[in-house]
Every structure is written in structure tokens, then in C-alpha cells.
Amino acid sequence: MSKTNSGNFFEDFAVGRILRHATPRTVTAGDAALYQALYGSRFAVQSSDAFARAIGYDRAPLDDLVVFHVVFGKTVPDISLNAIANLGYAGGRFLAPVFPGDTLSTVSEVIGVKENSNGKTGTVYVRSTGSREDGTVVLEYVRWVMVRKRDESAPAPEAVVPVLPSALGPADLGGAVPRIDPSRWDELLSGSPDRWGDYAVGERIDHVDGMTIEEAEHQMATRLWQNTAKVHFNQYTEGKGRFGRRLVYGGHVISMARSLMFNGLGNAFHIAAINGGRHANPSFAGDTIHAWSEILDKQPLPGRDDVGALRVRLVATKDRPCHDFPDKTGTGEIDPSVVLDLDIWVLLPR
């Protein structure tokens, strides 16, 4: 019997299977510093202990996407080591703040499987849950992945495609944010005068700036989050594939777009939920990422007058500025420059 892990193939997944992922990871101030070095995030609550304490936190929490990357990275050896592509997300909720010193671990449940028409691959749906060492759930989300078959002649399983919510509601948001004091929110220090009430449904925001993906940085990020997917870091294998080079981890693009989002949504300090999203086109080292946002909805949170929620469509493009809000071509197809289309709830002070 081999002592090495070749990963699961499509026929290894069955609805109801529980995967307890190795290895727990203690997040530290070093993760916060490396995240800032990689993406240039400037949101004040995650940047400054003093700012966070002033509004009601014990200290600065880790960026929500640090939590996402760590929890996601745990799942890769068991779920997507043999993936061709990570196809989408839904039903993601950030449920508790995470601070340096917390230890995170992840468990996933297979909730759907469907063989693709080519008979060579299939789509696997999983719900992953990240928890602190005391059992507190900090993040849960669903993703679906296209995975290779080990044996193309293996019979197709009964197709099970889960029904997923198109969006979460206000009652599902806010668990990861303690009650804050918005009167102590210093707009000069946060870098933006615009609060929840200053945004309107239908408003579009060009985030203006661009950020180029560097080969060394996306490789560092892939290793930092312990993402072992071959498509991201093994040029020997990917050089023989259809693109001839390594794909950039989709979460790397999400974090780049999130950081670019600061210019226009600088007080959107917390991602409360991921309603849905997809990586519309591949990204590679050398691409320059731009981003734009559209306000899809605006809701108060039940029982809270300190923060409000904006539902934001965050779109990232490669090698194309977003002054004209690129989306679809004249024939209705996805614009080839669009690499990310993400639907999220963010919280802002009121």
C-alpha cells in the first residue's frame, strides 16, 4: 500500500461522506503581516489594534479572507488535489471573529455529485466548516469543483445536485462583528467619509487602481495557505496542460479584488457572507487585476443600529480598467477580461 496521498478522484466521493482535514493551523500576527504584504489591504479595523479597540473589539481581528484562505487550504488535499477547476461558491457565512493565536481546523461534507457529459470528469459539491480549537464555528461555505476521474470507464453515480440559496438574508449576517460604537469611528483614520447610509442600490463604483499578479507572490500565497493543488504550483505538470503554465489560485484574485475595493468602499470593514461567486476566466502571473462593484441591496441588521449591510457584486478583470464596468459582450457571453464575479454582503458603520 502506498504511503503517499494521490488525492481523491471523482469516483471516491459519495453524498454524505465526511472529510476531516489535516492539519490544524494556528494563525498569527505573521499571517496578518504576510496578507498585507501580498495584497496591500488597508481596512482600518484589521490594520490597527487601537482603531479596533476604540470601536469595541478587544484588538484587531484577522482579515476575513485570511480565515477563508486557511479554512479553504485545509480542504485542497482531500477535495481538489485532482481538480481541473474550482467552479463556484454559495452560502458562505463568517460566524465569529478570529484573532492571532486562534487555531483553525476544517471539516467538509459531500452534499452533491454529478458526472459531466464527457465521462472524464465530474462535479463535486461540498460544505466546509472552519472552527476554532474550542469548537466555535468561524466560517461555513459551499463550493463545487470539477474533479478528474481515476477510471473513465467507472459508472456514473446517481446525480445529486444540492439546492443552494441564491443569497443569504440580513438575519444570517453580523455574527462575526461585536456591537461597535459608530460614534467612535474616525473617518480620517479609516480613509473614507462614506458610511452605510451614503450608498444607494444600483450604484456602481470603479475602484480605479490596478494590481499586477507577480509569479513569486502568487506562489508564496499558494504555499502560505497550504494549497497543494497541482494546477497552481507545479509547472512540470502544468507545462504539459492546456494552458502551458500554472493557474493562479482563485482566492488570490479574490483578495486582490477585495483590497482594490478599498478605494470606494473603504469603510466596508467586514465581509459578512459570500452569496455566490465564480472564477469566470483563468488568471496567470503577469495579469493586472482591476475591479468594480455594484450595490445590489442595502439592509439594516435585525436588532442592530451600529452597522448596516450592503450586498455587493464585486467584479475583477485582467488587463482591463473598469471605467466602463466590463461584464458581458454584445452577444451575452462573459467578457473575456472578467476573471471573478463575486456576490458578497459587507458591513459598514451607520
Residue 73 lies in a domain: yes
Q: Say which CATH number the domain at 111 has.
A: 3.10.129.10
Query: What is the largest distance, in Å, between two alpha-carbon atoms of the chain?
Result: 64
Residue 131 lies in a domain: yes
Residue 37 lies in a domain: yes
| pLDDT value of residue 1 | 66
The amino acid that residue 290 corresponds to is H
Residue 111 lies in a domain: yes
Q: Are 25 and 104 in contact (CB under 8 A)?
A: yes
| pLDDT value of residue 209 | 97
Residue 161 lies in a domain: yes
Residue 329 pairs in a beta bridge with none
Residue 5 lies in a domain: no
> The domain containing residue 308 runs over which residues?
10-349
Residue 241 lies in a domain: yes
Q: Work out how many domains the chain is built from and give that number.
A: 1
The pLDDT profile of the chain, 350 residues, written as one tens digit per residue, is 678 888 899 999 999 999 999 999 999 999 999 999 999 999 999 999 999 999 999 999 999 999 999 999 999 999 988 888 888 999 999 999 999 999 999 999 999 999 999 999 999 999 999 999 999 999 999 999 999 999 998 998 999 999 999 999 999 999 999 999 999 999 999 999 999 999 999 999 999 999 999 999 999 999 999 998 888 888 898 899 889 999 999 999 999 999 999 999 999 999 999 999 999 999 999 999 999 999 999 999 999 999 999 999 999 999 999 999 999 988 889 999 999 999 999 999 99
Phi, psi angles (nearest 5°) of residue 260: -65, -30
Residue 2 lies in a domain: no
Q: Are 228 and 21 in contact (CB under 8 A)?
A: no
| pLDDT value of residue 85 | 82
| pLDDT value of residue 2 | 78
| pLDDT value of residue 241 | 87
